[in-house]
Structure 1
Amino acid sequence: MHGPATNNSPANVVTANSKTRAGTVGRVEILLFVIGVVLLVVGLAVSIALHELGHLWPAKRFGVRVGQYMIGFGPTLWSRRRGETEYGVKAIPLGGYISMAGMYPPSPAQQAARASGQRTGRAGGGFFATMVQDARAANDETMTGDDDQRVFYRLPVWKRVVIMLGGPIMNLLFAIVLFTVLLSGIGLQMATTTVASLAECVPASSTSACEPGDVTPPSVEAGLEPGDVILSIGGTPVADFAEASEIVQASAGEQLAVVVERDGQQLTLTATPAAITGQQVGADGETASVEVGFLGFRPTVEFVRQPVWAGSQAAVENVGAVAGIIWQLPVKVWDTAATLVTGDERDPNGPLSVVGAGVIAGEVAAADAPILNRVSGLIALLASLNIALFVFNLIPLLPLDGGHVVVALWDGIKRVFARLTGRPEPKPVDAAKLIPVTFVVVIGLIAMGAVLILADLVNPVSIF
């Protein structure tokens, strides 16, 4: 007769060990998730730093006085002054800025008041008028006097455009570097012509599984073996699995010569693809059943390095994709907000907040995949974020870089028109008058950002 199992019984020991292993795995996944989020935050901070350097370098090169170069917003964590510029890091790494002297020209009223030694007082006309005056006052503090030539608004139009485009272009260049590392350094994961394994049968269709009594696949009958590298099929050289599959599918019932490399030697095998039912998408988008050839082998998936220009091509393609999302941003944010009410699944290709990007980074880092796959995923995510920064900052609205470019170009157009018509040179375009519009844009961006953050917390987009 056996008594009750003690805590040292084999059953309890196995259960305890299983729970310990499960707990350890869970803690490791959480740690990897956190590491992924931290890496994304660091990568985003680097991207912001490069963006602001893209503004800083040409500004200093053109002689503009730059008072601050800051990464982040909020309280300053660290700063150091070198020359006339204070360099620092702030607590919230969600943006950055450089403080250039004379972003706006001083108003005539303010110039006259300063010349007479009088105070300008508060602006009349309500909230927006006060905003404009406050912006002018903050702008005037960056200038040392009325004859100061080291101010932004006095620069030629092309120099102002170069300074404002410098930031987005740095993000584009960083994205190209990241995509190049990803595609040409690590490689693109592709199905190759190296045989990984052979099928066990000939299924009835491309979507069905093997059944007992199914016939032997042609690959086995032909003598194909795992590790063989297929060089050509039916006299046509093949470079990847897609090319090999295309030839096989189009050759049902036809005898084909299959040239393989095995142990450093070339062998010619003979195989006749079996006919099975496959699916084909027509020009109208409809799927139809067709007869396709089936050989019966699974390819080896490897990282295949791409040409060095593949990174630039990928960046350009991503610019087009992100531009399509940005163009419809209000509509897509509205659709995202609707999912908060309906609970529907979000568009995986829709906009994300930094929180959503962090969640994806954490999932990539904690995924049950080889380390190289996870590294590739994080690099691709950071590259895509830089493309988003590039496109978003080109929107022609203040306070974005694209808005400042539009102001500079409008100033140039006015000057050219004045010269062509023999009129006096006009005064610089006063972007401070657009502060109310800027305020509305900022409120809109904050509202859309809040919706996306809430959606990424409540109904996040997941890679799984």
Structure 2
Amino acid sequence: MTIVWTVVGIAIFFVGLLLSIAWHELGHFTTARWFGIKVPEFMVGFGRTVFSVRRGETEYGIKAIPLGGYVRMIGMLPPARGGTLGRNRRTGPFQGLMDDARRQSQADVLPQDADRQFWTRAPWKRIVVMFAGPFMNLVLAVALFFVTLMGVGMPAATTQITALEECVLPAVAVQGQAPPDRCPAGAPQAPALAAGVQPDDRIVAVRDQRFGPDDGTGVQDAIRASSGPTPVVVERAGREIPLTVDIIPNTVSARDLENPDATVTAGYMGVLLDTSYQSLTAGETLAQIGNGVARTAEAVVAIPSRIPAVFGAAFLGEERGQDSPMGVVGVSRIGGEILAQQDVPWQQDVSLFLNMLAAVNLSLFLLNLLPIPPLDGGQIVPAIWEAIKRNTAKLLGRPDPGPVDAAKLLPFAYVFVILFLGFSVMVAIADVVNPVRLFG
């Protein structure tokens, strides 16, 4: 049954990725049509067409390689300065490539479509068209985060004791983790067990501070701040029972989301608290989204520095960290791993699924804004530069300098595509032979 759920999870998340790509392209498509730009193709994927259907002047379809998508607009590049291109291909290391790209850009421009080309639109309209794709990913990410954090909620400790630790062991008080089956010889008895605390008790008060049923974090903080004989009140079978627990210092989890393995020395009682999913407020959700954007931006910036580790994981058998870059194969496999988990609340599966899909959309938003062709930012930057040049010329009373020749950026595009394909293949190999595992 675990295998079945793994396959189902992979399929569901893969479909989510395809929908995210289509949603991105919808932003380009819709704004291009608003501004009168002709769009012959709307495709999800690259390579050979698997399925397509024509509606009006646009062909919609799915291609074989699900590594992205595209909306083909006519006239993406302006003709060479001085008029349209001739038939002769110029020589030079890059001139030939640029001439070929210009010809390809003009190949499907019919005489009646001359005024429907992308490059003929005002710079601000081109910026809107190219920014609309990444913006759609941002909108989807924010929506998914709101559904997850305000609808499903986040796991938080309650004051209900789900299990007791039998002896004092360092850094074992991980939320939701079962206590060890056996204690090593000579290990002292855990303070809560020695004081008579029982499983299924609910902690009502620590010292003079009382707590509601969902304030498990407050209980943990109060225990960590205590030391020595401490009055604790528990609720058992509807009755409040006062106890004295000899809280001792111990090495416990630091509860640091950025570094889950971090530990601190703090007061230790030896109880494991139950968890429940609690909805966040709109303000708390916005704060979490801001943190998510910042962490994703840091991860995008850190990709080049992580290439050696990915290479080691793919070809040298080195350990793969949970913060390692993943591709379509890796994130889809994580989707299968999520659903394959047994005896977990449904909120956990839904929350992990939606949060991961939201993180993917945040990554698509930030990556596509990089000022590198063929990414969207590679068209946004020339349009911004053209707007600056034209407005400056207008202020100085000079002639219109004309469109910026984005074809000159093509050498960078070819280098980027080669590097991207190599990186993608390496990540895909690592995702197969040495995948990232969320649950060990």
Residue in 2 aligned with 1:203?
168
Paired residue type of 1:121:
R
Question: Separation in 2 of the partners of 1:407 and 1:158?
Answer: 11
Question: Separation in 2 of the partners of 1:145 and 1:127?
Answer: 32
Residue in 2 aligned with 1:370?
344
After TM superposition, the structure 1 stretch with the greater mean CA deviation from structure 2, 385-394 or 133-142, is 133-142
Please say if residues 325 and 350 of structure 1, whose CA atoms lie closer than 8 Å, have aligned partners that are also in contact: no
Which of 97, 103, 106 is 2:76 aligned to?
Answer: 103
Residue in 1 aligned with 2:177?
none
Please say if residues 32 and 362 of structure 1, whose CA atoms lie closer than 8 Å, have aligned partners that are also in contact: yes
Please say if residues 223 and 247 of structure 2, whose CA atoms lie closer than 8 Å, have aligned partners that are also in contact: no
**Deviation for aligned residue 1:435:** 1.7
Question: Separation in 2 of the partners of 1:51 and 1:325?
Answer: 21
Q: Given the alignment of the two structures, is residue 175 of structure 1 paired with residue 149 of structure 2, yes or no? A: no
Residue in 2 aligned with 1:253?
228
Question: Separation in 2 of the partners of 1:288 and 1:320?
Answer: 24
Q: Deviations over 1:202-247 (max 9, x none)?
A: 637666947689668446746x554444344333344532321221
Cα gap change, 1:184/1:337 in structure 2, threshold over 3 Å: closer, same or farther?
same
- Among the aligned pairs, what percent are the same residue? 35
Alignment of 1:37-436 (within 5 A): 37-108=10-81, 111=84, 120-126=86-92, 128-145=94-111, 148-200=114-166, 203=168, 209=183, 217-218=191-192, 221=195, 226-238=199-211, 240-256=215-231, 258=233, 267=240, 269-278=242-251, 292-370=266-344, 372=346, 373-436=348-411
Question: Separation in 2 of the partners of 1:34 and 1:74?
Answer: 25
Please say if residues 163 and 271 of structure 2, whose CA atoms lie closer than 8 Å, have aligned partners that are also in contact: yes
Paired residue type of 1:459:
N
Please say if residues 77 and 90 of structure 1, whose CA atoms lie closer than 8 Å, have aligned partners that are also in contact: yes
Cα gap change, 1:455/1:296 in structure 2, threshold over 3 Å: closer, same or farther?
closer
Residue in 2 aligned with 1:10?
none
Cα gap change, 1:55/1:206 in structure 2, threshold over 3 Å: closer, same or farther?
closer
**Deviation for aligned residue 1:48:** 0.4
Please say if residues 225 and 267 of structure 2, whose CA atoms lie closer than 8 Å, have aligned partners that are also in contact: yes
Question: Separation in 2 of the partners of 1:148 and 1:220?
Answer: 85
Q: Structure 1 unaligned segments of length 5 or more: list them.
A: 1-27, 114-119
Paired residue type of 2:376:
D
Q: Given the alignment of the two structures, is residue 461 of structure 1 paired with residue 426 of structure 2, yes or no? A: no
Question: Separation in 1 of the partners of 2:356 and 2:95?
Answer: 42
**Deviation for aligned residue 1:180:** 2.1
Question: Separation in 2 of the partners of 1:155 and 1:192?
Answer: 58
Question: Separation in 2 of the partners of 1:153 and 1:213?
Answer: 75
**Deviation for aligned residue 1:319:** 2.3
Q: Structure 2 unaligned segments of length 5 or more: list them.
A: 173-179
Cα gap change, 1:79/1:412 in structure 2, threshold over 3 Å: closer, same or farther?
same
Question: Separation in 1 of the partners of 2:304 and 2:149?
Answer: 33
SS at match of 1:95: strand
Question: Separation in 1 of the partners of 2:250 and 2:62?
Answer: 62
Q: Given the alignment of the two structures, is residue 441 of structure 1 paired with residue 406 of structure 2, yes or no? A: no
Question: Separation in 1 of the partners of 2:130 and 2:95?
Answer: 26
Question: Separation in 1 of the partners of 2:187 and 2:401?
Answer: 89
SS at match of 1:273: strand
Please say if residues 42 and 58 of structure 2, whose CA atoms lie closer than 8 Å, have aligned partners that are also in contact: yes
Paired residue type of 1:52:
E
Question: Separation in 1 of the partners of 2:117 and 2:263?
Answer: 66
Q: Say what the alpha-carbon RMSD is for the aligned residues.
A: 3.1
Question: Separation in 2 of the partners of 1:384 and 1:63?
Answer: 33
Equivalent pairs, count: 421
SS at match of 2:7: helix
**Deviation for aligned residue 1:163:** 1.2
Residue in 2 aligned with 1:24?
none
Please say if residues 248 and 273 of structure 1, whose CA atoms lie closer than 8 Å, have aligned partners that are also in contact: no
Question: Separation in 1 of the partners of 2:409 and 2:253?
Answer: 55
Larger Rg: 1
Please say if residues 333 and 452 of structure 1, whose CA atoms lie closer than 8 Å, have aligned partners that are also in contact: no
SS at match of 2:160: strand
Question: Separation in 2 of the partners of 1:297 and 1:204?
Answer: 12
TM-score (norm 1): 0.81
Paired residue type of 2:168:
P
Please say if residues 90 and 99 of structure 2, whose CA atoms lie closer than 8 Å, have aligned partners that are also in contact: no
